Structure 1
């Protein structure tokens, strides 16, 4: 998806993504008996520029699972918890400050439709009505996820970066957003709501 030109289906902007990254966290799996397995300290950066689009959930108890719960973004507590490590380390360039918190989603690239020739959208905000983090639950339908210790099962979710602009101005009107607010919330919500469950590999 990176470094390839696309034409947006609604705005008709020509867009070449050079960076597309976003946080997912607090992963939970629902068993067929109704109980939930919560992965502790589960914070990941999904990065389309690397192989970090495959997330591993370790030490899941054996059994069958019907749903996965995912938080897109970083919860409020970890936005104000000081210097952290792993996916939450400031060295990942996904952090603004201790006041503004984490960049929940970063999309950058080039476009001839932008007045500057590029676009930069750093979407975040973890407090109040304009917080961008959201939690979604995906049901697996008729095929449960099976964990039996003999193989690695896979859950496939599908995301479409173009969804960011399904509720936003074209790039000639607005080609950057680097502060929390209504626009950041609307764009991120449209993207997160467009992420769909696709299938299971058992």
Structure 2
């Protein structure tokens, strides 16, 4: 009988330990979409004939400084919070934040882009490594958001459009601050709708941004407004 009780106690502790461990992690899913469809770039480019032969070839952006708040008060902040989301690599679409204190929260905040102090530090490692293709120079810093593709309305070479948005110095500080109220304490689902973004760009006239500028700042604001939260 003692042996049976010992075995039951062992499995109970193991179960509670697993549940406790799982409760200490917050899963954030960031999915690139186009009109409610997942934007797939891993096997072939995303082509929409009903959008003037629109073809999306590259979509990358930085999510940083992830914070969790309760009633407006900061209760949890991810350390070294820099994540490069690449539409061509699904492994980058999920972020895990450790919640060792089991903090309770009702709001998540994050930045679209890289802040000034990190830019001023120069080229770094990890997701900030220049080999990721998201770094201009020490003068211009990191590219916060990159979108490349083609459309028949673009009167450019190969009908291409290129948007590399960034800038960490005024008056072209392009980083965007986003905030969403949430209910689920373990799973947060965010979507970036590229169709919503492109509806607000007249590609026949605006199709090339490659350096910090007023246009880069304005378009960065539109990108931020294209994020939505999806409750489970």
- Give the TM-score taking structure 2 as reference length: 0.74
Change (3 A) 1:180 1:90: same
1:157 aligns with 2:190: yes
Confirm or deny: 8 A CA contact 1:124 1:131 kept in the other structure: yes
RMSD: 2.0
Change (3 A) 1:35 1:176: closer
1:177 is matched with which residue? 209
* Cα distance in 1 for residues equivalent to 2:207 and 2:72: 48
1:189 is matched with which residue? 221
1:149 is matched with which residue? none
1:106 is matched with which residue? 146
What is the 5 A alignment of 1:72-151?
72-115=112-155, 116=157, 117-140=159-182, 143-145=183-185
Larger radius of gyration: 2
1:49 aligns with 2:81: no
Confirm or deny: 8 A CA contact 1:165 1:187 kept in the other structure: no
* Cα distance in 2 for residues equivalent to 1:128 and 1:94: 20
Confirm or deny: 8 A CA contact 1:114 1:175 kept in the other structure: yes
Confirm or deny: 8 A CA contact 2:119 2:138 kept in the other structure: yes
Report the structure, 1 or 2, having the larger helix content: 2
* Cα distance in 2 for residues equivalent to 1:60 and 1:69: 19
> Which consecutive residues of structure 1, in runs of 5 or more, have no partner in the other structure?
146-152
* Cα distance in 1 for residues equivalent to 2:181 and 2:97: 17
Change (3 A) 1:96 1:129: same
* Cα distance in 2 for residues equivalent to 1:134 and 1:23: 11
1:199 is matched with which residue? 231
Change (3 A) 1:184 1:163: farther
* Cα distance in 2 for residues equivalent to 1:40 and 1:113: 43
**Aligned positions, number:** 187
* Cα distance in 1 for residues equivalent to 2:127 and 2:209: 23
Deviation at 1:34, TM superposition (A): 3.7
Change (3 A) 1:31 1:18: same
